[in-house]
Amino acid sequence: MADHERDWSSYRPSKTLWGWSLVGASALTMVLGFTWGGWTTSGRAGVMTDIAVRDARADLVASVCVHNFVTANDAADNLKSLRAKSSWERDDFIKEGGWATIAGIDETVASATDACADQLIKLKELPQATDPVVSDS
């Protein structure tokens, strides 16, 4: 055997070295886990959940708003008026029109009116109803 192989095979680290090696490996594992491994704290997970709930609620209300806007009697005129407004006035126009109002929700859903206005502005033309409306009466 070569001298360096004999030196490694006879090496016996102390308990202190073993202890510090475990501490270092644990710290390195945690750093890598939280930076690249996708680990997260419970506080951060709670914040991410709150953001996801808020965004999903705003998307739902915006979809209902678009539906309410499009199915209104004067939708074409309202769309022209909406497009004539500046970007910061559009959410007020949507609020005043009542299209983003949903029964059972008293407060305004944050960013829902902006998302509704953005979706309406992106429409090339208003969708036409092809099926007759069915009612329970």
Distance CA 20, CA 16 (A): 6
> Angle at Cα 54 formed by Cα 52 and Cα 55, nearest 5°?
65
What pLDDT does residue 6 have? 72
Average pLDDT for the chain: 88
Non-local CB neighbours of 105 within 8 Å, separated by 6+ positions: 61
pTM confidence score: 0.67
**Cα atoms found within 13 Å of the Cα of residue 49, Cβ hemisphere only:** 7
- pLDDT digit string, tens, across residues 33-79: 999 999 999 999 999 999 999 999 999 999 999 999 999 989 999 99
